[in-house]
Amino acid sequence: METIGSAYHATETFVQGLLFAKSQLRKLAGGSELPSNSERCRDADDTSSDAGSSSVGSQSTDELSEVLSQADIWLGRAELLQSLLGSGIAASLDDIADQQSSAHLRDRLILDERYPMAVYTCKKCKIDVFPVWNAWGHALIRMEHYAQARVKFKQALQLHKGDPAPVILES
């Protein structure tokens, strides 16, 4: 548990560093919000006849936007890692580095019956949350909490694509 505590504090430092880097990137971008993709496309259409330095500025803005996007992704992952560690769950950045490793972590959390944290992991990592709601519903049925199970199954079925019969008939 001491190792998890040390990792938690290291993650806090990492989150603070990412927040600082993100604020510095925003200052570099001129302190204003970077244009969204649709705004950039509209601006490109309006200035398509202009040549020269505007394309260099646009490329720089696109690169800066990509770096900010990556900072947001890693900040979300670091915050998730901090939440996992704060909940006493041993995890590392490798566990949330990509969709496959994130799905493996989700499945591990389901096996450990850490359903709320599994849902949070799915949302932060943008992976399928259906297995969590489904497993949570079945766990609630085993505990004879039928009304709560119904809510979890409803959430699962709202996400399920295809015929719901196999999900409903699953024991």
**Full-model pTM:** 0.71
Cα–Cα distance for residue pair 49/119, rounded to 1 Å: 49
Contact status, residue 99 vs residue 128, Cβ threshold 8 Å: no
pLDDT tens column, 27-69: 887 754 544 433 434 344 444 344 444 444 566 778 888 888 8
Phi-psi region of 85 (alpha: psi -120 to 50; beta: other; left: phi over 0): alpha
Cα–Cα distance for residue pair 137/78, rounded to 1 Å: 29
pLDDT tens column, 124-155: 999 999 999 999 999 999 999 999 999 999 99
Q: What angle do CA 117, 143, 86 make, to 5 degrees?
A: 20
Q: Which amino acid is at 159?
A: L
Is the sign of the CA dihedral 104, 106, 109, 110 positive or negative?
A: negative
Examine the pLDDT at 162 and tell me if it is beyond 50.
Answer: yes
Q: Which amino acid is at 138?
A: H
Is the sign of the CA dihedral 82, 85, 91, 96 positive or negative?
A: negative
